[in-house]
A and B are shown apart, each in its own frame.
Chain A
Amino acid sequence: MEQLIGFAVPGIPYGCAYAVFAVGLCLTYQTTGVFNFGYGAQAYASAFLFGWLVDYQGWPSWAAFMVAVVVLGPGLGLVLDRFLFRRIPSTHTTAKIVTGLSLLVGIPALLPVVFGNGNVVGVPSIAFNPDTVYFHLFGMALVPVNGIDLSAAVFTVAILVVLVLLLRTTFLGLEMRAAVESRRLVQLQGVDGDRVTATAWAMSGLMAGLAGVLLAPMEATVQSQDYITLMVAAIAAAAWAVLRSMPVAAVVGVLLGVVGVTLQGYLPTGSIWYSAVLPALPFIVLVAALLLVPGLRRLDASTDPLSSVDPPPPPPVARARAPQIDRLVRGGWWVLLAAFVVSMLTWMPRGWETVLNQGLAYSVIFLSVTLLTGTAGQLSLAQATLAGVAAFTAGQLALHLGLNFLVGGLVGAVLAAGVAAVLALVSLRLRGLGLALMTLAAALLFGAAVFSSSAVSGGTGGIAIRASWLGLDLFAPDGHTYFVLALVVLAVCASAVVLVQRGTVGRLLTAMRGSELGAAGIGVNFPFQRVLVFALSGALAGVGGTLLAVQQTVIAPGQFNYQLSVAFVVVVVTTGVGSVEGAIQAGLGLVVIEELLQYAPTRFDGLAFVLFAAGALTYAAHPEGMVELQKRRWTARAERVLLRHRSGAAAPVPEGP
């Protein structure tokens, strides 16, 4: 018994950390209607600033706490409300998710740009001394309770009690819950809905900041990775609470931590249970919640009676522009393509050719996002994982069976399509946020239990691709062979996506995105269409993953983790998730910006993701993407100038909302 308790007690701080984050996620969802993927990043920002002020500026802890938690926490919450989430219609689930993901990607990348690359280490505790053993639980010598255990438990209980009382017993709590249903309707009742929601966001920001600073002493260094992983694990606890019941979220969070650490004590260290299943425990719990908790299927059921007043999105500019302009633009694209090909094969410096080749591979992966999210309106956070499935399959087939790597890549793409289809099948009842969480859980499960296995990935170093596996001289120093192959593959994949978008399946997917009920009412087989589009998207990601692996000459787990899946969505949404052009511009744009940043100081390394995240933050106002928006504006100007004196000119391109 003493051994059991001895194993369990060290799990309490981790459990409390899950609980604090899970309660914060529930609080934000309950008071703002947003599942804030950026919550972990907000907590990290406060922890980082707190540690930076203490470590680098020599501030006393209390002063750093006031700035990092009391000022930055609510301040960040207010900024997010005022400039981002307030502008998102209550029914636009995808925009809310994408905005949260942008914060998740953007905030950790922004902090080094502002504060430099220095590590924040040894953050002091604001409560109990971590090194002091305050008492022994039940008087057992094996169960000491130190300052970290104590502060985690005390603050978790205190936070829970305060929040539950606030939401259930105060008028402000009632106003907040009403504003979540419909801010506009609350305003019609004479309540200042903006003030209520701003208060909710400030409170949520304060909670995030407090959680961040409380948890900082648990690790030697304050790293964004720890906070984001913690938050993702906490999602499992929040999911069992249907994102509403904070006491349930707290209990499940604590249990997760305690059970995980206890199992760690009992399981044999060399077993697959220890190496693969244990790290994946929170994600298995999340998948179980998504499959078993009925409330999670109805998360996106909007109750806003005024939702229909939101304007529809403008049509793609390529469909709305005048025929003369359309011919001009299409001609321009062909000229640009020809110039690009000639440049790559003649004068382009080798370094830049390598970079652009990588961009072509990314473009193929991004086409999978275009098809799935842009056309079908389904959000997947596992596209990098699917790319990895194909790449590792090709690697293993080449390694063990001697199969040509490119042929193996096609086999891998089929397998990735199968994995995506299974993912779609098991999540048939989930929509929007539920589906995003399921795909995220799948990505994490693959990362923790499959890609981490050396039998699959060849260990952390990955599988080095040998030139003899390829059949083509793809490793030639000038990069031309790879360029031609990547261009042909991209052209085939892009044509396939365009044909699907313009064809019957594309129309069916657009119909399902507009109204699932209406589509079912005319006989559209929703389960089949969803499985089909997931499979197609998985195959595209797989083909892109194989290309990317060849370009990088190695297949490693780090190339295909869940953070990249999240980043992929953010990047494609920024340029334009609805069009093939958007995917190609995202692929090339990402690598070009990253290459240019090589010339800047190292603190700017993550600036590319900051820029793309900033672009994705405009998704709510411009769901067509920044590039598509600029094209719309330029097209409108061109039509005004070029078609001014022509009779019978087409109607001007709408400017959009």
Chain B
Amino acid sequence: MSRKLLDLWVGFFVALGLAAVLFLALKVGNLSAANFSDTYSLTAKFVNIGGLKVRAPVKSAGVVVGRVAEVRFDPETYEAVVSFTIDARYRFPKDTFALILTAGLLGEQYIGLDPGGDEKMLQNGDTIAKTQSAVVLEKLISQFMFNKASEGQSDK
């Protein structure tokens, strides 16, 4: 086989392989969407984060605006400290409310941001003051049972 033809087939093979990598990166993976080039980071303290994990999405009005970067436990206040990065294109007011929400009944947990009405905007490194913890199913059930039980007693 001549060297030219050999080069042609090898070139074809390498191009096909690189195309497969590109396909995996763009169509199968989330390289096109997940990488925010310019970000700033915020932190928020929660009493309970439930099943929130690093790299979980941060959404506002259902749109992904950032990702959770780090989850840490604060031994002083016994709270969870969550730091997350937000796309620099999006600015949120100082009194923004951070909640831990669940996608679907058993889906993964994410941070929801409800913007407030403050004139000043959150800056890089700021801490969100108002937060709401994750809903823990066991607590919800026990609350419900407790309410039911007390209802039963008052009926008597």
B is a partner of A = no
B→A interface (CB under 8 Å): none
A→B interface (CB under 8 Å): none
